[in-house]
Structure 1
């Protein structure tokens, strides 16, 4: 059980690759659409950019390959095509262990929140359907809310602000290096779950405080993790 004097009040969840097993679809969509525009973005590299806003990813690839920023028209066109391609895939399923972990979070009296770089309306709309009663829309932070996507700390700082939280009252669950960097920069204890093809070391190098091989493994080890965290909280 969480002790009353324990500071933890909220758990901030990334969405893609943490709540939904959607990253393979995102990676394929980015690769296919970028290739159609003569731009090179491999599926694996898409995981490295996960958490960045769509416009940020497009801009970065244009700068690298063309030596210039993407035009507003290019960003709008490419992201629209990417979204259309993403929506041709089957509905992404809940990540195994995510629902069970959320039930533990709720049972402990903690506030679950979503902090995502995604602006993919189809997934955002399905949060309530797949995780009923877990997330409050007004407390979500999405691509529509921020000027600077991950790895900038703004999304997580905004989540703290929306939730009325201090950094030491939250834990972040992330699967992407940019998301981990953002959470660490916001001063929040950050758990990495390696649900993609990246090497564990990439996530640790990004600054993760703890690493689990899957959401199910995190769910299974949740009580022990929280008790250890409690011992280290001043």
Structure 2
């Protein structure tokens, strides 16, 4: 196992599949939604991971009322998902990062994100960029550009942790360095490293007030 050490100003973290083991819950909710509308689930499940519900609806069921369907999906998320499980090592890493030096950047709504973090026993970040905070969701770079701006740092000085193709593309287009969480192969050749869980991440103090992030790859 070799190490990669990076000096960054802030960490920007996705939630589903990155901090919380929630792939099954996400698919359960979308299957319920498809059943409600008598839609085939396969196209939805192929697209939904890492993307806002409104992008999925716009692409696959544009005839439906957007606001009504987004609200319905949020209700399904809250009432039909179980207790979340944090990905191994995540709590320890978050505890080692100063509160103002990391943000959550998720395609979930603020309400769902707070519910899922609480159910997994993870702390709420000082900054949470959710689905309703941006005009364009992942894979557009807007979510990560907004998070960096609100933290007062350059996107190029941020290290992003992502698990899904849409999120990885969003972060790369924002100009950030990206670490992929999970998977046996790089989803994009520009990804700096692939880790399986947060035990492979160590965060300490770097030179000039930077965060020193060591990846055990």
TM-score, reference length from structure 2: 0.79
Does structure 2 retain, via aligned residues, the 8 Å contact 1:146–1:155? yes
Distance 1:8 1:93, change over 3 A: same
Mapped partners of 1:175, 1:227: distance in 2: 18
The C-alpha deviation readout for 1:28-52, integer Å capped at 9, x for no partner, is 1112211331322339x63643232
How far 1:147 sits from its partner (Å)?
Answer: 0.4
The C-alpha deviation readout for 1:106-145, integer Å capped at 9, x for no partner, is 4xx971111111116143256468334x621xx2211111
Task: State yes or no: 1:210 paired with 2:193.
Answer: yes
How far 1:202 sits from its partner (Å)?
Answer: 6.3
Distance 1:148 1:135, change over 3 A: same
Task: State yes or no: 1:101 paired with 2:88.
Answer: no
Aligned length: 202
Distance 1:171 1:110, change over 3 A: farther
Unaligned runs of at least 5 residues, structure 1: 63-68, 229-234
Which residue of 2 is the match for residue 118 of structure 1? 108
2:140 to 143, 152, 157: 152
How far 1:53 sits from its partner (Å)?
Answer: 1.5
2:75 to 67, 84, 98: 84
Higher helix share: 1
Mapped partners of 1:215, 1:115: distance in 2: 17
Structure 1 vs Structure 2 CA RMSD: 2.9
Which residue of 1 is the match for residue 207 of structure 2? none
Which residue of 1 is the match for residue 45 of structure 2? 46
Q: Secondary structure at the match of 1:192?
A: strand
Does structure 1 retain, via aligned residues, the 8 Å contact 2:186–2:194? no
Runs of 4+ in 1 over 4 A off after TM superposition: none
How far 1:209 sits from its partner (Å)?
Answer: 2.0
Q: Secondary structure at the match of 1:204?
A: coil
Higher strand share: 2
Does structure 2 retain, via aligned residues, the 8 Å contact 1:18–1:215? no
Task: State yes or no: 1:169 paired with 2:157.
Answer: yes
Mapped partners of 1:110, 1:7: distance in 2: 16
